[in-house]
């Protein structure tokens, strides 16, 4: 398939992810934790890069945007994977996602998997169109390494989460206002 198709698909996925992320904060009133904010920032970067690149570059060249967006997608994917790990291991207590399908980090991870896949396929499609495919693996490898370094920097520089402050509803159920540190279980 043409590189333009994969770039447009990546833009559609990133736009849907951005809309969903903003809905979690604005529509559902959830507070984003530092990992959520980093994930949102990377998807905003992908949307901005792809929109501006498609608006400025001549029609046959949007496939060349995939290598530029790939490190941001890989960084977001890495952060989302780490976020899911923290949620599943009980370090964080994250709210349900949109329509109650999984948790918010699960939805972010699924979106970043789709986005990264579309961009990797766009890199290979652009490489085939321009050079017969040579160098595509090196571009993907470079994007993965750079994205991994960006994610590592985000994780190491993230501010600490505040201590657990559970809020309970009228029937005793825990109400989450966003990703929060897990409430330690009280001993006997």
Q: What is the pLDDT of residues 24-72, one digit of tens each?
A: 889 888 888 899 999 999 999 999 999 998 888 766 565 689 999 999 9
Other residues' Cβ atoms within 10 Å of the Cβ of residue 170 = 6
Three-state DSSP class for residue 86: helix
- Is the pTM here over 0.85, yes or no? yes
First to last CA, the chain: 62
Please tell me which residue, 188 or 182, carries the higher pLDDT value.
Answer: 182
Asked if residue 6 lies in contact with residue 129, where contact means CB atoms within 8 angstroms, the answer is no
Other residues' Cβ atoms within 10 Å of the Cβ of residue 113 = 15
- Residues in Cβ contact with 114 at an 8 Å cutoff, skipping those fewer than 6 apart: 13
Q: What is the pLDDT of residues 122-161, one digit of tens each?
A: 998 887 655 555 568 888 999 999 999 999 999 999 888 7
Please tell me which residue, 89 or 78, carries the higher pLDDT value.
Answer: 78
For residue 108, pLDDT beyond 80: yes
């Amino acid at each position: 398939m043409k590189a333009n198709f994969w770039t447009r698909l990546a833009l559609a996925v990133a736009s849907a992810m951005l809309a969903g992320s903003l809905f979690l904060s604005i529509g559902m009133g959830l507070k984003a934790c530092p990992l959520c904010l980093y994930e949102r920032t990377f998807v905003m970067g992908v949307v901005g890069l792809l929109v501006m690149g498609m608006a400025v570059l001549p029609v046959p060249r949007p496939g060349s945007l995939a290598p530029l967006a790939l490190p941001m997608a890989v960084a977001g994917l890495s952060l989302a994977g780490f976020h899911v790990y923290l949620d599943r291991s009980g370090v964080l207590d994250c709210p349900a996602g949109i329509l109650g399908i999984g948790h918010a980090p699960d939805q972010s991870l699924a979106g970043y998997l789709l986005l990264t896949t579309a961009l990797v396929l766009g890199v290979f499609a652009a490489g085939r169109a321009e050079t017969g495919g040579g160098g595509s693996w090196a571009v993907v490898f470079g994007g993965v390494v750079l994205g991994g370094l960006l994610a590592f920097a985000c994780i190491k520089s993230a501010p600490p989460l505040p201590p657990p402050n559970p809020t309970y509803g009228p029937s005793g159920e825990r109400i989450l206002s966003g990703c929060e540190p897990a409430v330690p279980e009280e001993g006997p």
